[in-house]
A = this chain, B = another copy of it.
Amino acid sequence: MKIKLTLIASLFVSATAFAQNTDSVMLRKIYDEALVNGQCYQNLHYLCKNIGQRLSGSANAQKAVEWGKKVMESYGFDKVFLQPCMVPHWVRGAKEQGFIIDGQKRTPVAIAALGMSVATPKDGITAQVIELHSLDELKTLGEAAIKGKIVFFNRPFDPRFIETGRAYGAAGDQRFAGPAAAAKFGAVGVIVRSLTEALDNYPHTGTTVYDKDGKKIPAAAISTIAANQLSATLKKSPKTKFFFKQSCMQLPDAPSFNVVGELTGTENPNKFIDVGGHLDSWDLAEGANDDGTGVTGALEAVRVLKAMNYRPKNSLRVVFFMNEENGDRGGDKYAELALANKEEHIAAIETDGGGFTPRGFGFTGLQPDALTAINQTWKHLLEPYDADKLSAGGGGSDIEPLREKMPSTVLIGFRGDSQRYFDIHHTPNDVFENVNKRELELGAAAMASLMYLIDQHGLKF
């Protein structure tokens, strides 16, 4: 592409030409502040490169809490405080080993223990493999076919979903519920195809959930390339075995914190509009897009409004939730304290799908017709910024407890473009270099804009 006449002509539509009224002027100022003086990208750089992975209970998670508090204080918010909560403390231990055993041939493959998994025996497990594509197949085949084997769940992402989060949802039961279900049928271990459409050699970790009183068997993710290899080997040699060894451990719960910053409302100090992401991350990389972009983007949304000397009617809060990945303890604690303190939470925005180019927002819990009204009154304000897809359904694990405890709270999910997220999600590739500065800034500006509009006009139409 060289310089086009059409682009040159478009110069005359200047960056400020669509400032037609107070709200649109305000949104333009929000975007200018985020794009010209943005601090989220450098904050993300610090979080990724100077702290790094920050799994709940780890020393790094504590460093991240201290850093978050310090940055919020440096911005001169009206209040900055920590909310103590106890969190699970799971550790991965030594690097996992996995081998496909086809007769005498042992082929090493890339695996990673699922979060919260138990260890294998010290010398690992070797067993025959049975490949399944759904949890229902366990019932169909029954204990006779499963007992003593390693269950290999190999249902791939369905590429036909446009939003990749839906493909994740459609394949995800294998990871979060597969090990508990397979244990009931006598499986001795579980290997799960990584939850991604990308064909590469990186295993994607993520939580698995055991039944409270059920048997806990070790479970690991296997890369998509290795999953295809294992499947092909099984077709050729149905008696193929798998060996894996992992030494992960569940330590006693550890103390940790949510980090909260607030611009206190001038009219309704006890009514809140929240924006947040989760500060904890998986341990394989820097948690850049999951959810470093979330916390730094949410922080930026409130920083931008503060930098513009905006005095909100209601209290605006940025929340760095702790322990989204393997427990939701931070989200639970935030809601518990909100209820105890008799706070009213008008709306809570969560951003936990990566710092990708904004599409819009999804809303859960609006009154009837309110979504139509929002589209009629606010959509055109967000349209110049390509963040105007305002649809039903949305939220996030950290803010869902708020609505459970206080059903009037509207939950809002920030919708960034989903295409690249699951290529890197929960892998060693979730690093700073895979975040684009402008995409992150545009997301922060979109959230600041929505907070401003809700603060000014509410969500009751």
Show the binding face of A for B, using Cβ within 8 Å: 1-11, 13, 15, 31-32, 35-36, 158-162, 164-166, 168-170, 172-173, 175-176, 197-198, 206-207, 290-291, 324-326, 352-354, 357, 359, 364, 384-386, 389, 393-397, 400, 413, 417, 419-421, 423, 425, 436-439, 442
Known A7-B166, A166-B7; judge A159-B438 contact (CB<8 A).
Answer: yes
- Contact, CB under 8 Å: B5 / A172: no
Min CB distance A400 to B, Å, is 7
Known A159-B438, A164-B438; judge A1-B425 contact (CB<8 A).
Answer: yes
- Contact, CB under 8 Å: B6 / A159: no
Q: Which residues of B contact A386 (CB under 8 A)?
A: 162, 359, 389, 417
- Contact, CB under 8 Å: A31 / B438: no
Q: Which of B325, B420, B438, B442 contacts A436 (CB 8 A)?
A: B420
Instruction: Report the 6 A-B pairs with minimum CB-CB distance, sorted nearest first.
Output: A7-B169, A3-B172, A15-B160, A35-B159, A1-B352, A419-B438
- Contact, CB under 8 Å: B160 / A36: yes
- Contact, CB under 8 Å: A206 / B2: yes
Q: Which residues of B contact A6 (CB under 8 A)?
A: 364, 393-395, 413
Q: Which of B5, B161, B169 contacts A4 (CB 8 A)?
A: B169
- Contact, CB under 8 Å: A393 / B10: yes
- CB-nearest residue of chain B to A207: B2
Q: How far, in angstroms, from A2 to B31 measured CA to CA in the complex?
A: 30
Known A160-B36, A161-B15, A353-B1; judge A7-B436 contact (CB<8 A).
Answer: no
Q: Can you offer 12 A-B residue contacts whose CB atoms are under 8 A?
A: A1-B421, A2-B207, A3-B168, A3-B172, A7-B165, A7-B172, A10-B169, A31-B160, A164-B438, A357-B357, A357-B419, A359-B386
Q: How far, in angstroms, from A175 to B275 measured CA to CA in the complex?
A: 42
Known A176-B3, A290-B1; judge A8-B160 contact (CB<8 A).
Answer: no
Q: Which residues of B contact A197 (CB under 8 A)?
A: 437-438
Q: How far, in angstroms, from A221 to B352 measured CA to CA in the complex?
A: 39
- CB-nearest residue of chain B to A2: B207
Q: How far, in angstroms, from A197 to B41 measured CA to CA in the complex?
A: 14
Q: Which residues of B contact A396 (CB under 8 A)?
A: 4
Min CB distance A234 to B, Å, is 23
Min CB distance A264 to B, Å, is 30
- Contact, CB under 8 Å: A31 / B162: yes
Min CB distance A162 to B, Å, is 6
Q: Which residues of B contact A417 (CB under 8 A)?
A: 357, 386, 417
- Contact, CB under 8 Å: B169 / A8: yes
Q: How far, in angstroms, from A425 to B389 measured CA to CA in the complex?
A: 28
Min CB distance A436 to B, Å, is 5
Report which residue of A4, A172, A352, A425 has the largest number of chain B beta carbons within 10 angstroms of its beta carbon.
A4
Q: How far, in angstroms, from A397 to B160 measured CA to CA in the complex?
A: 33
Q: Which residues of B contact A420 (CB under 8 A)?
A: 436, 439
Report which residue of A6, A198, A359, A439 has the largest number of chain B beta carbons within 10 angstroms of its beta carbon.
A6
Q: How far, in angstroms, from A448 to B439 measured CA to CA in the complex?
A: 27
